[in-house]
Each structure stands twice: as structure tokens, then as C-alpha cells.
Structure 1
């Protein structure tokens, strides 16, 4: 037998069994409940799952979380609620969510434990790596799941501070086999790209009618259902606020206001019936937002008043925590109070927090003082500045911007105000919040004289234009603003002009580069590798290949002693591509990625990931390159960095061209080139067109490849010219090979790298039909780090030898080419080598992967197995791959039976047999 009890809450009925166990049933939400229950059931088998429940206030999101908690019978449950007043305090929400499990932080790897403690203010750890905090969050959730399962409920996610949300979304995207379920509930404006969503709309008529109390006239019931839009909270709360006349149907029962406003007014009417003590307690708790009972009482809330509010079911007090039953109750409690009482509540809370040792108390005190300020207040502004710098050490870029922005609003002095706005704008830009950064920069005084402030504002506007407009327009912002800076600081002007040259490089515009370089020469000299690099790029764009490469080489080799930050290193990294130095490119880009992750400069990270992924692809590590570029694409999409999306799309297409991923390569390259042309991104368009030509060349269609490659205008990046020359020869049009060959030879002669010299010799051998050039190219390849190009030369040489009827010699070259192509996953080129071997009378082996003992593994399993074979523990592997240790263990558990082994000790022999020189190309090792 069942006993049914109706509770006040959105569309909620709780059914109690005699054994004390509760089941939760929601009117009109059967499909949504079923979806959640499937996630919970999967968690019981070790599979993780994520869901974002989105909908307007009162639509029943929290009720669905309650349902999930009630159904999670054998699961540990963590629950956190976003608090609007703490949305600018970095990691405040994460602390509240995880506080019940912080006793397990010691079980995490040391670096992760230190990062999480530092982020949550549990010790005096140095500035944290935000990505490491995300990984620590993932590892802690896995640890808390233990051998069972864990349910993590995040309510009002739209009010979580940015740093907490970044960590949780980072963890959510990487959940796999931990047995963890994460459910986010949020308003419609909340977005978490890449996470599955469950949109909640209003209830249907039947379910809505079931929530209304009996005895209402039919016309009143119909009007309530219509005006509520099926919002469950409105359906429950509005009838209680009706007057006797409205209940009788003699007056219109509702006004023409949004549902949330109508519900809030219903709550306000309920509060008006309470005593003064209860209303005061509600106001202080609403103004506080932290839920700390001690702080609320310390600010003047009486326990009797809180008890009265709890009896009215407006708040819930659990232990030392006070929480509102619904966010709209908090809003109603705060907004119904006169402004004088709201200001007094903030002052009282600031006083209660003075001297508090609790984490984040100083930051909360600063924000309460700011909320109580009636006008400019330099003392409060300084406290907010200090809060901003504390947020910076904890990786909270958005929080830094918010604190500096509020400090500026409280600043009377216009110079100091502009300086604080510039600091806010720069922090927002570094955090990837480009629109907000530009709006902050626009609020600064236009006639400010401080060169540092002027430079910061120019940088913010340039960064935004570079990522969402055109690089030429970004460079023009610098050129228009640099005279004001140059009159006050030659160094600041120098760095801006270097950036202007970089903008011209991405646009492929020699004239703009020369204009910036002329202004740079007019300044007193500042000895820097950045200046050498800028002059080098300008010469290269202007056709002085030798002079440009000499200066750029000097910059790349000499930058290490200067201690450059992320922007300077990014410029140095961009020089490596036209210098044919992929190893150095990857080294510098890897450092930038680490610096961005450590400092929270998320706005620069997509660019760094692009550089790193492109370098990995240049080195033949295609699996690793694809993973890196895809990570960059996800982040650039999250940040709205349109230009970086274009560069990443074209570069990913170029990597896929090597592997013969025909459909994806063509789709990405076509889309990327079209975007690049609209945005004036000449360099991205070169890479995208090169991808299409290279794909056709690998697939054995030299005519199509030649057409594609001839669409690329002559460029300082001469690498595609080598493929163009080869395509012309293979298409039977050797006369069309002469110009691109000459261009490539000129570039290679000045670059002086073994790989470019070898490729130049290979092209000459094809054009001139000269074996000596092939032999010399093979010897040079022995000194380079480009296995793909080495295999291309071996293939071309083998083809030449076969046509010369030297079959034995041809087989040796073709076998080497085939082995390398198979190992790298360059399938169209491997198939060409295999075809040539058959033509020599040889019977080529099946694809290397088919005979590779690791070929039975997924790419993820293969990567983990390689690391485990090197002696890395599950925790070490998890830290390197941004996974949880439990997921690593699961992949090894799945891999061992596939490999026919029973222990880790047997892995080393298997990986040795699967490997050869440079054999990590398709694994991302």
C-alpha cells in the first residue's frame, strides 16, 4: 500500500513506501525522469554521464534534481547551488559543491591536490593552473565515487563563478568510466558547449491542471494555466496570492507580467505577512548569499527571525547553513526591502566579515562594501583592487575584470579610473571575454596620458578586432594609436608596432608591414628579438627572402634570454613556420600552452594550441596534432574567436589530408577557405588550399591537385610550392613546374634545413629526371625530423627506379616508404607505395596496422598502453592525458584481453614490437 503526500514545490509528488523509502513523481515530466534514470542506471555499471537541464525560473529544474537525488539510492550525492552575489568570487561555488568531499583531497596526485587546495583557499599555495584545477576536480569526483557511483548536482549553474564553472565543465567533458553523473540545472542564458542538454518547457494542460488547488472556478483555472505558460512554480504559488474576489473569478486573476515577476510578487506578499525580525533575517541572508549561518547572525539576523522564515518554508536551515527554498525567494526578499535597508545589510555583513579567517572572507567583505557605497570611495576601490589581484593568483580572469570594473566605478579621479578600466579590460581580454573587454576599454577616458593605460586599451581593441574583424583593421588600430604612445614611451610603442607587423603577416599584406616597420625604425632602438622578427617578417613579405630569414632566425634563436611573456612568445612561434623549424615551433608553442594554462590566459590559449597542433602535424605526429587542434577548436568556439576557428579548421584539414580522411578534409578545408577569404586571413587560406591539393595528390589525382595548388598565390610560406611542382610533373605538365620549383629552391637555399634541402632535391629529381638528386635527398633526410617527407622521397625514388627496371633497388626504397607511411597512418601514400611494390613483382605485407599487436586497440587505449609500458602509473597517465585514474584503469582493463596479456610487465615487449623509429605518429605519444 502507498501513502501519498503532496508537497509545495514545482509539479512534485512524493510517494512514500512503508519501508521509509521515497520515490519522487513529477507531473508531466515522465520523459525527463526516464532520461535521468537511464544516466543513474548506467552509473551503476561504471559509465559516467552528463546532462544540462535548461529552462526558465520555476519551470521545475530543481525538482528534477530532487528526483535524481531521490533515485540515487546507492550513490553518494554532492549538491551545489549557484549564488548570484558570489558569481565574481573565483572558485567559491566549487568550494561549496565539493566541501563534503575535501577530506579526500590528500588521495589526489600531489600537484593536483596542491592546485585544488590553492584554488579553494585551503592553504597559501602559489598561483594555480586552472587546467590542473579542472583535472583535480575530475580526479576528486572519481575518488569520491570509489567503487560505487557518485551523483553531482549543480543547481543555478548560471550563477556559478566562471572559474568554478570552467573546472566543472572541464571535468564533465572528460568523464568516461568513473561512475559519475553530473547534472547541471540552469536558466536559458547558460551554455556549456559540448554537453548534452535537456530543455524544459511548460507543462501540458492536463499536468498543469493537476497542480492547481480544487475549488477554483473553471475560468480562473483556465486563466491561471494560460498566463503561467505551464510554469509549475507559478501554478503552485499564484493561487495562494489570489484575493477572495480573484478566487471567485470576479477579477482578472493575474497581470500581464512575466511569470518570474508574478511568482516573485507572490513570495513578496507572503513575506509581508511576517514579523519584522523575520523580514530582517531574510534580507540579510539574501544580501549575504554565502549560506554561512554564523555570518548571517553576526550581521544582525536573529535566530527567532530565521526560525519564523523557516516555518513559512521560505528558507531551510541545515547545520550551519541557511539556504532559500528557491532563487526567486532570495530575489523577492532583497528587492522588496527599501534601498536604505539593503545598504545597511551590506554594511553589516562587511562588518561581520572583518577579520574572518574563512576562505574568501576578504573578497566578500570588499564586495559588500562596494554594494553599500553611495558614490566614489577610494578606500573601497583599493580593497576591490586587492580582491582583483587575489583573484589573479587563483586564475580567475573574469573575477579580476569584475573587481577592477567595480573599483573603477568607485573612483573619482579620472586618470586612476581609466587605469582601473584598462586593467579590467586587459583581464577580460586575457580570459577570452572579448566583447566585455572592448566595452570596458571604450569606457576609459579618451584623453588619458599614461602610456601603459593607452597601450593596454590599444591591445584590447586590437585583440578583439584580430579575432572577430580583420587583421588589417586590427593593425590600423595600432597605427592610429601608436603616435600617442611613442611620445611617452618608446618601449610600449615598439611592442605595439611589432604586433602591427604580425597583423600584416596574417593578412599577407606587405604594404601594411612596411608602414609599421618604417615607424619602428623611426623610434630609438630597443634591442629585442621581437624587433628582429618584425623586420624579418617585413622583408620576407616584401620579397627579400634571404634578409628576412636571417633576421627571423636570429629572433628565434635569441629570444630565450629575454624572459618574454605569452604575447611575445606567440610572436616568436609564428616565425618558425616560414623558417621550416617545426621542432622549435612545437617547443615554443608547448611553453605558451603551459603558461596560458598556469596563468589563466584563456584568451591566448586557442592560438597556442593551433601553433602546437600545426607543429605536431609538421613532425608527422598526426594523431597528436588532431587531438591538439580539436581541443583548440572547442575552446575557440566557446570563446567566439572567429579568426582562430578559421586557422584551426584549415590546419586540421591539412593534417587530415596526410591521412587521406577525404570527406572530413574536404569539408573542413572548403569551409575554412571560404571563411578565410571573408575575413582577410591570407595565411589560413594558403593552408586550407594546400590541404585540398595535398589530398588530391595523395589520392593519385595530380591534375586536380595542380589546379588546387595553383590557386595559392605566391606566398612567403613556400612549402606548398614543392607539392605544386610535383603535381605538375605527375600531371604531365613539367613546364608548369618551373616557377613553383624556382620559388621553393630560393626559399630552401636561405632556410638551410636538411628537410627543406632534401625536398628541394626531390623536386629537382622529378623535374630533371636525375637519380643523383634522389640519392642526395635520401642522405639529407637522415638528418631531419620529418618522417613523412622522408617517406615521400623514398616513394618517388622507388617509382623512378622501377621505371628504370631496377626492381630490386626499387623494392628496398618502396618498402621503407611503405613502413613509414603505415606507421604514420598516411593511408593514401601507403596504398601508393603498396601498388608500386606490386608492380615490381613483390607481394607487399598487409597494412602495418593489421600486423601491429597494438592495432586491435582504440587510439585512446593505444596511447595509454604506450605510457603504461614506459612505467607510468595510472595517476601519472591521468595527469598527462587529462583523464581520471579510474578511466585509465578501465582502458587498461579493456586493453589487456585484446592484447592477450595479463600484466603490465608484458606491455614493454609488445610496444617494442609495434614500434620503429618515430613510431608515435598516429598515437599522440
Structure 2
């Protein structure tokens, strides 16, 4: 029976009931040692008698073994791995040491975990209980939290119990405090004197474990109340001392057995016995309720018992036990035996030992090939500590730094990189270390400082590799582009020109961006155009393609932008490059929004935002928020646009992200312009720094100035936009440039020419704005019949796109001509009734993708995909999957 936890029990009951109804949920229970977290997990298990239950317990000594905890949790369901998509099955099998193919990315293992849990839930609701999650290895936590954040409609519940040190941002949390006085009193023995009971309740601070264990540790005098029952120590320390007194009262064989079991951590009876634990000693410890033996597995009744057993032993005995455990694991056929042996040897060593360091290095490599990057970093770092040779030590520290970077532990990666001396001579390693330092600065500091770190490190690389130096300088220009800093870009460009020619198209792109930042639009457009030509893209990997795609924005090449970013998204999804996928979703979302495919744009940007949060890419979060605000502004989603863009701008300004902040301010200016507030729009648009975005947003700045009655403030942005449109030579910029001239000069010929140019531009939103502006001009000229034709055309497009503020403005103008406009509609878009996620799923299903294929692309479980289709069918008025293609084809609105 649980005392004082009725509300927590209700929360658990609700999660279980929802799982039985097909909905999923996750919960993190936090609290200090002994507060009752494990008791709530046991309660959940007892209430889930009709559900399948998976259990995993974190063990401190196994925190550096990659995917050890995930294997423990999933071990009873691993026979279903074959049901997963091939790439996921291979990734999960490789991560768990069950296959030869290593996962290419740790988050692909998370997706496979989600799919496996969904597969196991096909037989009925599933409950996953994860205790002491703070001691799970990082690779396992990454996979489990990734899966937990994406639970939707699988019928899966995941409950984590953890102390401090477990990070699971985005998951619901339940923080346990101490029991109230009544509940605390109910746990104490009834025969204690009142004064002792009161003191125990006070000193235990309501901690259930302390209330149960401390009375048993009292002496006769303490129980009688003649001495203070406890000392002035934290609850965990008091309980640990109580356990240590119990252990001290045991026989020598029992104490030895407990020490070996505590040092081992695996719970394998065979290994503990082989290391010297006697069965009689283990039986004695079990009779004392310190451990539990189930079959061939040993478990401590509470983690503090393990801690007490280990810490109460002298250091010489601990060293000897670790050596004995290493010997016991020699020749073991267990998947992780070699790794555990290496760590036990390391724990038994004082000072340097090249042999043990070499074994730890091998363990680090095994972890790396299974995407256990955090474990790899820890092993390399410990190997470096055991290494006497300074050159070899630096090499191992460098390897630790790179592994930590791959694990997303940027602070630790940078700290390790700073410990590497100049002895390292490999250009690949030097380049990687520079990128580690720069990446950390980019995420935690500013792009400008990150670019400076790269630029300062280039001379050392250039002396060894022109190719690597070229790439680093391109990265420097990219940092300058994000920071809006022309001076840094110019320095990097000068160094690029001084290097031997490598033939990389990225050089032209970097030189073009530099010229654009310096205000030379003509040369900037010329160089960037060379970089994005089709033949120049051949052979580029995802990083190079991502850089090239970003050039399409200042070149005004919307279709090309969408094609390249779509290719990048597909490649990242195929290969599991989750870190790059957040970038890809951002660029693809902007491209889709540029082409007025707002549903797909929102879905891509939302997906990118979730990934960026998962990865801890703070700067990417800012950029995605500002980009999402820009898309929302087109449709006039006032509240969400304003909240998203304002938060994104605040973050970006604090991070020196000039490019992101410019997109956010463009979003707010566009929103105000659509709402008919030109003065507010002009304030936002004039605040945009002179980045590449300043040329794209200049057209809106012109319109805001004219509509605000400030034509003199339209001259500079008009000149800026006309120059840009002239040099990029794209249909839509040309049409918009004519609209801007018409607004400023009041020349009807420019309006008429702009309308004709839009026919070939493929950007209906801008076409509608031009027709609206032309219709307004015609109405003011008292040419009502001509005005109606333009305004009706504008209204039809705005309605179809869901651009509500702009559509309302067109209606107001039509009414002023004496016309009666139709009510808001989206008759040409039957998919408009769907949510962005449902729309995305329906589009893929309509193209013939299976639920599993869709799940793999969207990082969902197949059951969640099925749930979205189940919700979409009645909205679309269909009953079968075969009807989806017809409905999707009838939608004339691009997503």
C-alpha cells in the first residue's frame, strides 16, 4: 500500500487508461533517493495486469556501456526486430550488438525503438518502466527520450523515474516531495515512543525510505528516546549509513559478496561468483533483505544499498575486486564482456598503464561503431588519463572530443579539445577539433565568434591540406552570413583566393555571399549562380548541398531551392543523418513557403523545430522559429505568427543571429502589412539589418512606406530591390519589381506588365498581391469594372491559399466597387480540412507510400500514421485508402 500518493496514483491510472484506448503517453517522475519513485513504478506494474510490461533499471557502473540499458529494457521483445523497416532493424540490431551493421546515427536507433515499441503494442497496450534513469547510458537515453517525445497513437506508456542528472526536456514531469505528517506516521512502527516518532518524521523530511529504514537502525536507547535518533545529515546519507551498519553486521563472506555484486553492476550471478562471491555469502545478504536473487540475476533492493556496500569497503579491496571481475570476464561470450573487462581494469589501476589504455581505446572504437558516442568519449578520455606518452595522450583526447561532439555534448567536447596539445599533426583531426570548438561557440555563443575560431585555425590546416582549409573557410563565410558580418566574410574570402584551386563549387558560393554582404549585388549574384548550376552540384554530400541550397534564397530561385532541399531531406531520412535533417527541414520549409505550399511548409518547420530541440541546437531553434513565423505571416495566423516570430527574434538577437532575426522581423512586417497597419510594418521592415534578407524584404518595405504616406522612405529599398531583381533575373522578382515601381510612380503600365510577368512566376501569393494593388489603384481612378476583374482574381487566390487578412482586404475593396464578394472559401483545396500533420500523411499515402514508409520519413510510428489516416478519412468524406489519390489530385493548391 502507498501512503500519501493518491494524486500521483491517479495520474498513472489515467495514463494506463488512455493506453488501453489506443493513446500513448510519457511521464518523468523526479525526486531524491528513497522518495518513492520506484514504489510508484511498482504500483503502475500492478495496475497494468492486462498490459505487456517492459522493465529497465539504470546501474551506475554500466553508464559508460553503449545501449546497455536499452538492451535490458527491450530484451524480451527483440524477436520482433525483423518486423521493422530494414534500415531501422539494422540500426537497432547493430546498436545492441546483435548485428554487423552499425547504425549511422544514434537518432535512427531512437526511431527504431519507437517502431519496435509500436510493434509490441500491436498485441495490446504496452507499459515501459524505466527506473534510475539518471544512470542509463547516454545512447540508451537518447533513443528512449527520442521515442517518448514522438508517442501519439500507439497505446504505449513510458514512465521514467530519475534523480538529478536525467535530462528529458519536453516530457511531462511529476516531482515527488516528502509525505505529509499523517502519511509519514503511518509508515513508522506503532511501538515507538511519541517523541521518537515526531523526531523521525521531522528528520526524515517525509522520505519514505528513511521512515522505513531508520527505525530498524535505532539502538535500544534511541528507540526508548534517551538519545537523538539521528544525526544532522542529509536523508540519503543517513539512510546509507543505516545500510552500512547492516552490512557491517554481516559475515565476511556476505560482505565480500555484496562488494563484488556492487562493483560488478551487471547482476549476472555467474560473473559475480566467478569473481569470488560465495553462494553462502549471497544467501546471507539476501536473508538480510539487502539483495534479491531471481534465477541467475542479482538485484539490490535499493541503489543506496549498492552505494553503501561499495563505499564502505577499503580502497585496496575495491581495486582487488575490480581486478577479479576483469579476470572473470576474460573469455566471456557476452556481447559487452570485453567492454566491461576494460572498464574494470581501468578501475583497478592507479597511475598510467598503456595496456589498459589500449583496451579502453578498443572499447571506445566498438562504442563508436555502434553510435554509442557518449560511451566512446568516456572510454577515450579515461584511456588518455592512463596514457603516459604525451602525443598518444593528445590523440586519445582528440578522439574523445570528436566522440563527445557526435553525442551532442558540445561543452564536454570543447573542454576535451582544449586539453589537446599541439602534438597532433593529422589534418583531419586538427580540422575536426577546430569544428568542435566552433560548433560549441555557434550553439552557445555567436556565429561571429565561431567564425573567428575557424579563421584563426585555418593557417595550421592550410599547411597540411588545401582541401580541408577550403572547407573551413567556406564554413567561416557561412558563419559570417548568419551573423551578417561583412568584415569576417571578406577576411575568409581573401584567404580562399590565396589557396590553391580545388575545383569546389562551394568556393564560388562563398565568394558570392561575401560580395552580397558587402553590397555588391551584381558580383554576388554572378558567383552564387555559378555555384548552384546543376552540374556544379554533382558529387556534393549533404553538408555541401546544404550550403549550396542556402544560396538559392538570395538568388531568388524558389523552384531550385525546393528541389535541392527536397533532395537533402530525402538523403538525410534515408541515411539517418538526423543532425543535418533539422537544417534540411528548415530550408525545405522556407522553400515550400516561398512556393505557397503552406501546409507542407508548416509541417516541415514544425518537424525541424522538434528535432532541433531534441538535439539541443539552440541556434537552429531560433532560426526555425523565425522561419515558421514567416510562413504563418503569409496566411495571417496572427497570434501564432506574432508569438513565434517575437520569441525567435529575441533568441536570435541574444545569439548574434542576424540572419534569423532578419527573417523574424520580415515575418512581423509582412503580418502587419497584411493586417493593414503600414506604419507598424514599416518599423519592423526598416529594422532588418543589411543581410541578404534585406534585399528580399525590400519590396514589402516599399509597399509599407507608400501605404503609410511616406514615399520618401521608399526610395532606398526600391533601388535596392530593383538592383537585386535586375541581377538575379527571375520571373517573380521581376514582376514584384514592376509592382514596386507602380506603387511609387503610379504608372499603370508597370501594374499591367507585372500582372503578365506573374503568369510565369509560379508564386500565386505575390501574383494576388500585385492584382490587389492594381485593383486598388483602378478603383481610386474610378475604373470600377476594371478594378473588379483584378480584385476578384486576387480574392480567389488569397482564399485558395488561406491568406485570410489579404483576402479580407480584397473583399473590402470589392465591396467599395459595388460588388458582393463570395464568403471565404477553399473550394479548390479539399485537403484544407486537415491538420498540417494529417495533410502530410495523406499526401504521402496518396502517392502509394505504406504506413511504415510514411512513419520512417516523418519520424513517427506506423500506428500513429494509421491514426492520422483514420482521422483524415471522415474529414475528406472517403472510406478507403484507394480514394486518397483522387482527392489529393483534385486539390489545386500546392502544399
TM (norm. structure 1) is 0.90
Q: Distance in 2 between matches of 1:176 and 1:409?
A: 45
- State the alpha-carbon separation in 1 of the partners of residues 574 and 285 from structure 2: 45
Residues 373-427 of structure 1: per-residue CA shift (max 9 Å, x gap): 3222233333333333333333333223222222221222212222222222233
Could you tell me how far 1:123 is from its partner in structure 2? 1.4
> Is contact 1:497–1:520 with CA below 8 Å preserved after alignment?
yes
Partner of 2:688: 712
Q: Which residue of 1 aligns with 2:718?
A: 741
Q: 1:492 & 1:875 partners in 2: Cα distance?
A: 40
Q: Of residues 788, 792, 806 in structure 1, which corresponds to 2:769?
A: 792
Deviations 1:325-360 (A, max 9, x none): 211122222222222332333333333333433333
In structure 2, the residue matched to 1:145 is 121
Partner of 2:99: 123
1:83 to 32, 35, 59: 59
1:409 to 385, 390, 411: 385
Work out whether 1:882 is the aligned partner of 2:882: no
Which runs of structure 2 are paired with 1:72-471 in the superposition (5 Å)? 72-445=48-421, 451-471=427-447
- Which among 646, 657, 660 is matched to residue 684 of structure 1? 660
Secondary structure, aligned partner of 2:32: coil
Q: Which stretch has the larger CA shift, 652-661 or 61-70?
A: 652-661
Match of 1:825 in 2: 802
Aligned residue in 2 for 1:728: 705
Q: Determine the structure 1 residue equivalent to 2:848.
A: 871
**Contact 1:28–1:204, Cα closer than 8 Å, also in 2:** yes
Mapped pair 1:902 → 2:875: no
- Give the alignment partner of residue 757 of structure 1, picking from 734, 737, 751: 734
Q: What RMSD, in angstroms, separates the aligned Cα atoms of the two structures?
A: 2.8
2:475 corresponds to which residue?
A: 499
Pick one of 494, 506, 509 that aligns with 1:530.
Answer: 506
Is 1:891 the equivalent of 2:868?
Answer: yes
Partner SS for 1:250? coil
Instruction: Point out the more displaced range, 638-647 or 546-555.
Output: 638-647
The answer as to whether partners of 2:24 and 2:151 remain within 8 angstroms in 1 is: yes
Any idea what the Cα deviations from partners look like across 1:707-753, whole Å, max 9, x if unmatched? 32222244433100011112223334434322211111111222222
Q: Could you give the per-residue CA deviations for residues 483-533 of structure 1, whole angstroms, max 9, x where no partner exists?
A: 444444444443333333222222222222222323333344443233322
Separation of aligned partners in 1, 2:139 and 2:396: 21
Alpha-carbon distance in structure 1 between the residues aligned to 2:292 and 2:29: 24
- Quick check: 2:391–2:423 contact (8 Å CA) kept in 1? no
**1:553 alignment partner in structure 2:** 529
Summarize deviations over 1:602-655 as a string: whole Å, max 9, x none: 665544443333333223233333333334444444555443333233222222
Deviation, structure 1 residue 185:
0.6
Secondary structure of 1:253's aligned partner = coil
Cα distance in 2 for residues equivalent to 1:356 and 1:587:
52
Q: 1:311 to 1:819 in 2, by over 3 A?
A: farther
Partner of 1:846: 823
Output the CA distance in 2 between the equivalents of 1:734 and 1:660: 26
- What SS is found at the alignment partner of 1:323? strand
Q: Structure 1's 854 and 671: CA in aligned 2 closer, same or farther, altered over 3 A? A: closer
Residue 498 and residue 176 in structure 1: after superposition, are their counterparts in 2 closer, same or farther (change >3 A)?
A: closer
SS of equivalent residue, structure 1 residue 848: coil
Gaps in structure 2 of 5+ consecutive residues: none
1:576-595 → structure 2 map (5 Å cutoff): 576-589=552-565
Using a 3 Å threshold, how does the CA distance of structure 1 residues 463 and 855 change in structure 2: closer, same or farther? closer
Name the CA distance, whole Å, in 2 between partners of 1:703 and 1:897. 45
* Aligned partner of 2:18 among 42, 45, 48: 42
Partner residue in 2 for 1:20: none
| SS at 1:26 equivalent | coil
1-structure distance, mates of 2:396, 2:692? 41
SS in 2 for 1:146: helix
| Alpha-carbon offset, residue 319 of structure 1 | 2.9
Q: Secondary structure at the match of 1:90?
A: coil
Contact 2:484 2:689 in 1 (8 A): no
The within-5 A match list for 1:777-816 is 777-800=754-777, 813-816=790-793
**Bigger mean CA offset, 330-339 vs 552-561:** 552-561
- Distance across 1 between alignment mates of 2:548 and 2:595: 19
Partner SS state of residue 519, structure 2: coil
Q: Structure 1 883/519 Cα, relative in aligned 2: closer, same or farther at 3 Å?
A: closer
* 8 Å contact from structure 1 (residues 395, 600) kept in 2: no
Structure 1 residue 693 and structure 2 residue 669: aligned?
yes
Q: Distance in 1 between matches of 2:863 and 2:579?
A: 31
Distance 2:515 2:415 in 1: 36
The count of aligned residue pairs is 893
- Looking at structure 2, the residues matched to 389 and 594 of structure 1 have their Cα atoms a distance apart, in angstroms, of 29
Do 1:130 and 1:598's aligned partners in 2 also have CA atoms closer than 8 Å? no
Q: State yes or no: 1:646 paired with 2:622.
A: yes
CA pair 123-232 structure 1, distance change in 2 beyond 3 A: same
Partner-residue secondary structure (3-state), 2:129: strand
Say whether residues 1:619 and 2:595 are aligned partners.
yes
1:17 is matched with none
TM-score, length basis structure 2: 0.93
Shift of 1:183: 0.9
Instruction: Indicate the residue corresponding to 1:664 in structure 2.
Output: 640
Change (3 A) 1:269 1:784: farther
Which residue, 543, 560, 565 being the options, matches 2:519? Answer: 543
Q: Residues 258 and 282 of structure 2 are in contact (CA less than 8 Å); yes or no, is this contact kept in structure 1?
A: yes
| Structure 1 residues 862 and 522: alpha-carbon distance in aligned structure 2, compared to 1, 3 A threshold | closer
Q: What is the CA-CA distance between 1:685 and the residue it aligns to?
A: 2.4
Distance 2:338 2:558 in 1: 47
CA distance in 1, matches of 2:250, 2:72: 30
Does the C-alpha gap of structure 1 residues 810 and 359 become closer, same or farther in structure 2, counting only changes over 3 Å? farther
Deviation, structure 1 residue 783? 4.0
CA shift in 2, pair 1:227/1:719, >3 Å: same
Gaps of 5+ in 1: 1-24
Instruction: Give the secondary structure class of the aligned counterpart of 2:844.
Output: helix
Contact 1:607 1:632 in 2 (8 A): yes
Q: Distance in 2 between matches of 1:199 and 1:819?
A: 53
Paired residues of 1:471 and 1:681 also in contact (CA < 8 A): yes
Q: Distance in 2 between matches of 1:812 and 1:824?
A: 19
Which structure 2 residues correspond to residues 61-80 of structure 1 after superposition, within 5 A?
Answer: 61-80=37-56
Residue deviations 1:786-812 (CA, integer Å, cap 9, x gap): 333233334334444555666666555
- CA distance in 2: counterparts of 1:784 and 1:727, whole angstroms: 23
User: Does the CA contact (< 8 Å) of 2:102 and 2:371 recur in 1?
Assistant: no
C-alpha distance in 2, partners of 1:427/1:611?
Answer: 27
Q: Classify 1:340/1:576 alpha carbon distance in 2 versus 1 (closer, same or farther; 3 Å).
A: farther
- Structure 1 residues 387, 238: closer, same or farther in 2, change over 3 A? same
8 Å contact kept, 2:105–2:577:
no
